[in-house]
């Protein structure tokens, strides 16, 4: 029986979006049908400087990305492209969690394989919406910040759960409602519908991060709330208000954690 870790590696290293989505769909089906094993393979996980990705989009520093308004079709297409890029990276982040962390309960792999499936579907929805604007994924520049965070956390599952789902993905919970309102104000109901699906499902992804962050803390004898605050102070990820309190609480953040984040971002 094939290892789930080998299947995750194949998905990670697929360069073309259509191939990555097809391999993801096949791996998800194989996992759910019981055709993938969680027995560790003899080769330890490798550090992945860069997963498989197409030649475009060109990756540039975030400060070099132009700011475009949503009043033009080009501006709306650029926003959709930016979100599609996040979702494409999120496929790899989910598969990397499966590939890399091999001493976890089966439910861990259930969660992150499910996340990979969702992220692939989100990317497909956004790609089709881009096509409605006459664009393809790769037509606009993008940045590499998401995978840089993957490298920063690839040696520690607890740190990965804290900084990827509970910081980067949680940031999406904060900003997506504003994007929805701005797109609604310019009459782009189709993109609004896609973002509403993504927002709803990303709550569950952040919740999975919370669940496994707590599990890792328990394994190490750490108190989750105080340790999360300590990590935020030591790692200093980019945090900005306002926070979507309702969505974050639904995703497992406590009131005390949110109050701690608010103190850090107003200090």
- The answer to the question of residue 183 being in a domain is yes
Summarize pLDDT for 160-213 with one digit per residue, the tens.
999 999 999 999 999 999 999 999 999 999 999 999 999 999 999 999 999 999
Residues 6+ positions from 42 with CB-CB distance below 8 Å = none
Mean pLDDT of 102-115: 96
- pLDDT of 267 above 60: no
Domain annotation covers residue 60 = no
Q: Output the pLDDT for position 65.
A: 87
Q: d(Cα 19, Cα 11) in Å, to the nearest integer?
A: 8
Residue 184 lies in a domain: yes
Name the one residue in this structure whose structure tokens are 């030591």: 234
Q: How far apart, in whole angstroms, are the C-alpha atoms of residue 22 and residue 14?
A: 10
Number of domains in the chain: 1
Find the domain containing 108 and state its range: 2-37+67-266
Q: Model pTM?
A: 0.95
Give 68's pLDDT tier (boundaries 50, 70, 90).
confident
Q: Give 227's contacts (C-beta < 8 A, 6+ positions apart).
A: 217
What count of Cα atoms within 13 Å lies in the side-chain half-sphere of residue 22? Answer: 6
Mean pLDDT, the chain, whole residue set: 95
* d(C-alpha 204, C-alpha 199), whole Å: 9
**Does a structural domain hold residue 42?**
no
CATH for 7: 1.20.1260
Asked whether the predicted pLDDT for residue 67 surpasses 90, the reply is no
Question: pLDDT tens, 2-56?
Answer: 899 999 999 999 999 999 999 999 999 999 999 999 987 768 899 999 999 999 9
Distance between first and last Cα of the chain: 54
Q: CA-to-CA distance for 260 and 249, rounded, in angstroms?
A: 14
Q: Is residue 149 part of a domain?
A: yes
43 within some domain:
no
| pLDDT of res. 62 | 86
The dihedrals phi and psi of 142, each to the nearest 5 degrees, come to -145, 175
Q: What is the mean pLDDT of residues 215-237?
A: 95
Question: Is residue 80, in this structure, part of any structural domain at all?
Answer: yes
Does 8 reside within a domain? yes
């Amino acid at each position: 029986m094939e290892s789930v870790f080998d299947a995750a590696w194949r998905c990670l290293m697929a360069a073309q979006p259509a191939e990555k989505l097809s391999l993801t769909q096949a791996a998800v089906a194989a996992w759910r049908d019981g055709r993938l094993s969680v027995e560790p393979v003899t080769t330890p996980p490798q550090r992945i400087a860069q997963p498989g990705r197409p030649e475009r989009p060109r990756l540039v520093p975030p400060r070099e990305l132009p700011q475009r308004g949503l009043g033009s079709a080009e501006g709306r297409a650029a926003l959709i492209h930016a979100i599609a890029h996040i979702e494409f990276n999120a496929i790899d982040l989910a598969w990397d969690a499966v590939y890399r962390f091999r001493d976890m309960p089966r439910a861990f792999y259930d969660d992150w394989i499910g996340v990979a499936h969702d992220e692939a579907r989100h990317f497909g929805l956004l790609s089709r919406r881009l096509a409605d604007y006459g664009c393809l994924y790769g037509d606009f520049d993008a940045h590499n910040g998401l995978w840089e965070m993957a490298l920063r956390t690839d040696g520690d599952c607890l740190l990965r759960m804290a900084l990827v789902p509970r910081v980067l993905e949680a940031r999406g919970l904060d900003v997506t409602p504003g994007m929805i309102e701005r797109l609604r104000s310019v009459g782009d109901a189709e993109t609004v519908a896609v973002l509403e699906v993504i927002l709803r499902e990303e709550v569950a992804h952040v919740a999975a991060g919370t669940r496994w962050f707590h599990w890792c803390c328990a394994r190490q004898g750490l108190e989750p709330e105080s340790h999360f605050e300590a990590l935020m102070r030591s790692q200093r990820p980019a945090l900005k208000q306002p926070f979507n309190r309702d969505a974050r609480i639904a995703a497992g953040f406590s009131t005390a954690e949110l109050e701690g984040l608010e103190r850090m971002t107003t200090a």
